[in-house]
Structure 1
């Protein structure tokens, strides 16, 4: 009996240990994977050792390259095994994605066959690795400090491999700080030194973020899949799906995500299974298949619940957004309330900045919106108030402003006009505060961009110095051959002259370009007050006639037009589609004023791909203004204005503004001397703008003005020709 009790206790003890081990294994399996980088070197000479076996207890395997370096996918808590015939096996438990330097003591036979290296080599490797580690440590904290460490590492590096690593880290820094064009540049330089699939994946992602979609697809499709790990295969297919999603090729996006999902399911890579189910759901929803999307969202939400609270609440919010888009407000409210409870629990352990979707103020705001959409104002009001309070506590002016505006609208719809007015006044104050804050942010962003540019220029200078030093070294080895030295000197002299000539040409061209930009800005600033003055005169005439309702209507439409004009006023070219919208609104306003003087028609050839063309802003408006004010207004009977867009050939379109008014000569005879001066100045400004833009952008715009018809009122015809890039 005593023996039986001891055996039973031992059995329970063993079961407990097995359960503990299983729970620990499951906990490790749920950790996200990351890339561990490292190198294996001799402890004394720091000579790299190649073909070392590197294995993770989870099954991943690789070997060191000729530089003694390796990369392997692992999780926190995994055990790394490092084996080679010339030294004892090393075991290491992964703590983070730090860069590892594994120093090993070779056996006597191996040491006897190798020469000792200089201490300088050891110092350089340690110094380079320390600088790269520091750059990665500061990557997410301080861009300038991180760039400084990376630049110093580039300066210390004395091998192709170190050069590639330094530029890869530079690419990572720029990628994190959303400087995608610079990330692309540095990843490309890294690949020029060492051809790495991991860097290619990063480059493809940087291209996608920079909206170079075709370049991104080219990189993804050019990677040799046979050399990729399972994790990298998933990233490749996920990246392809992201590019196709961004370009709205949804069937290809779903296909790519599905390939990645199959690999993740086969190899039990849980975080990616969750992510890809979520992305497939979003793609189906974007493609107009909400029922199919809902099934995938349910899967992703179930999987996210098995990971951690933060991941679970992120997925719950995505599903809530999906329900909101499809007007399932009751389901949305339930999901957001659950998410809000979880956010309140994890806020103590996690820090969410105001840009995150996981903030109480945003979720309270969206719950209030959902109730408002159901006309349930009694429930909507408390949530908007909570949102305002939370946003105020966390200095989130954007959400506070939006929630205050919606609360004012709810009070208005509920018939509580005093509260609506008070809340609207608070909203106006918040708009002023937000405007001031945005001005500060713009100023800070400008300073940040300047600092980034200075750092990148230093890096470029280092690379140029490196190239120059290498060139000098090559020349010094051939100093014994005088003839070659003379030839090289002549070549370098010619190259320097060519570079100097090129730099001078480039400087002159840039100066001319800057002068043209300044001239364009000056001309635009002269046109806008002229346009505003004429429009306000129209409002004034309505007020003078005591037609307050018409004046209000006209002023409302005029404000919409002014907003569009001001938004476009800083651009050299805008999409033709925007200019057409502006013209429609402007012509409608002029017709509203002079509806007894003319009718109008805007005719667009349906075969024109409007999105393929751009046009200088406010180019057409003065011609329409002249047609109305100087041609049709003085016509005895009712006139007609026609605006027509037609395709003259595949690379260009024509915009025709034609009126059957009194014509240019009669109009000129009716004008006062001041009117002639103002009109001449306005049309002269247009000609100057067109001339400057054609000089800068190689004849993209052509304008021709002529009489429209052979009758008493000859009218005017303006033909503007736009050429595609």
Structure 2
């Protein structure tokens, strides 16, 4: 019984377990079994077959696609196909079954050739230049950015010259003449084009560099010019001579341009040149000749277009005003006023234009007033004020109210005169605020333009440096293929290139110092104007019109002198003495009860032999008055002495017996303590830069003037001869 049971169990195990092992073995055989799989390789989007593709099983069979992209290869389940070709990235595919394989690939774009790269860069350059031209008169910063991007894509000297010429045009339009000059000169360094030379010469004139302008005009070869460009040359040359008061040469140049214009029938240029010749004759006092040419310009202007005719009538009206021919002036201005409504249908006339209706009505009213016809003057002045108010022209509104006050006062109508004067005071205050805002906006605008120009200069430096590196690399590759003497020559070339690179960097540092100096000088002027206008405002606030007018007259003379000197690193000492004499006089004019002053120059000091940075002494004098003497209980004294030290060196002592630096600092409010004087800060920076450039030419020390009592302050400026 036991034997039978044992056999039954063995039989059950044999029939149940053996099939299971058999199935497992069969499955292993299937997975390891090789079979042939078919497939194709094609592009993903176009479905185009790709031939000659390498198909390989890792550690196994190999195949290649035929002309129609098909292949077949022996594989087993789990194998990995490696699909390779020169036109796309390698693809890896795992075999999961015996289904047909379809492999879709994205071909790699071939590397562009040098020719294609240059074509793309040239196309981008042209598009960016078109954009820069589009925004030239609309958005200076945006236009400059397009120029910078265009320079990144420039591939030739012609394109670089074109970019810098347009950059000069941008700065010319926005009246940044010094920057325009710099970029026109860079353009000419790339390509010497006569059109750019003409623009550079005109930019020199606009920047008051009259001699440079004349020299540039005379250097231009007339044989390379068109007839119109010859007219522009003679006209520009005449402008430069006229601005520099050389009237005979100006007339000669203008007449040469007029002869060509008449022969070529350039009506617009004929008009301009007749008008400029008339203006030059007026300057020389030859009124009769001026009348003849103004008659020609009026006739020709009417043949050009309506706007040019109106502008010329205004020009001739101004001439009649100077000649006191008020009847003809009034008649011409009335014609202008009648023509303006039609003219304004086609274009907007900005307040800065000389042909606005408010300005013309103001001039008509003024002419009637000068004739003694007050009753006729009043309606035109009131109309001028009304139009100026509608057009937000505060300057004409202010002038109109002031003139109307004078007319009412002259007529004996003191009530209306008082009312108009009160309105005038309000407009002056409003205009002061507006001008302050405009100064701030102008400073920000100029700062942004300088930053953009610095970016372009930096990009140009990097481009030149990259170009130099590329050329050096090519030279090195060539040198490796020739004999040892060529290698020595290559080393010499690299040394020369290093020398010029060092020289270029040194020049760039000098240019950066000059740019920094210019920036600091441009900050000094608004700072000085702001403080001076505060003084004017105080006189206006107390209705001291006569004092304000006297102060403004002296201040305008001082400002003219300051602005004339603002472009120079150094000016003659005698000019600086004249400036501080006038400035100290103005400060004393306001604070008569606070201090007296003396300005002395030692007999041994040769004021013609020394040069000094402009506006160097003014901030120290200003500090002495505003922070020392102004707070003193009794009347103080300001002393300015130019002291002889030796033949090559002088000392300038600025002393005051005011309250001193410590006490002045204690009187400041918390807000004032946080605010550092811009004038003194800029002076320190300017002195530091000038000393780097000119080897310690200026030294400044500040100390207490006395040991006890009202200590005061002593500033000693040491100045060395060139």
TM-score of the aligned structures, taking structure 2 as reference length = 0.61
SS in 2 for 1:479: helix
Taking the aligned partners of 2:163 and 2:149, their CA distance within structure 1 comes to: 9
1:186 aligns with 2:183: yes
Counterpart of 2:262 in structure 1 is 265
Q: How far apart, CA to CA, are the structure 1 residues paired with 2:116 and 2:682?
A: 66
Question: Cα distance 1:511–1:433, how it changes in 2: closer, same or farther (>3 A)?
Answer: closer
1:439 aligns with 2:402: no
Q: Determine the structure 1 residue equivalent to 2:300.
A: 303
Quote the residue 1:129 is aligned against.
126
Distance 1:223 1:576, change over 3 A: same
**Alpha-carbon distance between aligned partners in 1 of 2:514 and 2:188, rounded to the nearest angstrom:** 32
Q: Which residue of 2 aligns with 1:40?
A: none
Structure 1 residue 724: Cα displacement = 9.4
Whether the 8 Å contact between 1:693 and 1:699 is mirrored in structure 2 is no
Q: How does 1:84-233 map to 2 (within 5 A)?
A: 118-233=115-230
Following superposition, the deviation at residue 409 of structure 1 comes to 2.3
Aligned partners of 1:276, 1:122: CA distance in 2, in Å? 45
Helix, strand or coil for the counterpart of 1:178?
A: coil
- The reply to whether residue 460 of structure 1 matches residue 457 of structure 2 is yes
Q: Identify if the C-alpha distance between structure 1 residues 204 and 328 changes in structure 2 by more than 3 Å, giving closer, same or farther.
A: same
Q: Which residue of 2 aligns with 1:396?
A: 393
Are the counterparts in 2 of residues 254 and 280 from structure 1 also a CA contact under 8 Å?
yes
Counterpart of 2:350 in structure 1 is 353
Q: Distance in 1 between matches of 2:435 and 2:283?
A: 32
Aligned-residue offset at 1:344:
2.1
Structure 1 residue 273: Cα displacement = 0.8
1:276 has 2:273 as partner: yes
Q: Kindly indicate whether the alpha-carbon contact (under 8 Å) linking 1:565 and 1:618 is maintained by their aligned counterparts in 2.
A: no
- Which of the numbers 248, 253, 267 marks the counterpart of 2:250? 253
Cα deviation, residue 510, structure 1: 10
Cα distance in 1 for residues equivalent to 2:463 and 2:178: 23
Deviation at 1:131, TM superposition (A): 2.1
- Contact 2:374–2:411 (Cα < 8 Å) also in 1: yes
Matches within 5 A, 1:517-556: none
Show structure 2 runs of 5+ residues with no match. Answer: 1-112, 481-486, 626-634, 643-647, 664-680, 701-716
Q: More deviation in 438-447 or 693-702? A: 693-702
Aligned to 1:364: 361
CA distance in 1, matches of 2:182, 2:278: 34
User: Residue 471 of structure 2 is aligned with which of 470, 474, 482?
Assistant: 474
Shift of 1:469: 2.2
Q: C-alpha distance in 2, partners of 1:313/1:271?
A: 13
Residues 537-583 of structure 1: per-residue CA shift (max 9 Å, x gap): xx9xxxxxxxxxxx999999789879989999998986544445567
Distance 1:469 1:117, change over 3 A: closer
Query: How many Å apart are 1:352 and its aligned residue?
Result: 0.9
Which of 317, 320, 345 is 1:320 aligned to? 317
Name the CA distance, whole Å, in 2 between partners of 1:560 and 1:314: 31
Distance 1:495 1:617, change over 3 A: same
Which residue in the other structure is 2:378 paired with?
381
Tell me how far apart the structure 1 counterparts of residues 447 and 433 of structure 2 sit (CA, whole Å). 22
Q: Does the 8 Å CA contact 2:555/2:586 hold for their aligned counterparts?
A: no
Shift of 1:296: 0.9
8 A Cα contact 2:520 2:682, kept in partner: no
Separation in 2 of the partners of 1:131 and 1:430? 45
Contact 2:398 2:424 (8 Å CA) reproduced: yes
Q: Render the CA deviation track for 1:479-529: whole Å, top value 9, x for unaligned.
A: 3446567777777788888888999999999999999999x99xx99x99x
- Return the offset for 1:443: 2.3
Cα shift readout 1:231-259 (whole Å, capped 9, x = no counterpart): 11111111111111111111111111111
For 1:174 and 1:356, the matched residues in 2 are separated by: 20
Output the CA distance in 2 between the equivalents of 1:699 and 1:289: 50
Residues 394-449 of structure 1: CA deviation (Å, up to 9, x unaligned): 11111112112222222222222222222222222212221222222222222222
Instruction: Mark the runs of 5 or more structure 1 residues left unpaired by the alignment.
Output: 1-115, 540-550, 625-632, 634-642, 646-650, 658-663, 679-687, 703-719
CA distance in 2, matches of 1:204, 1:517: 24
The CA RMSD measured in Å over matched residues stands at 6.1
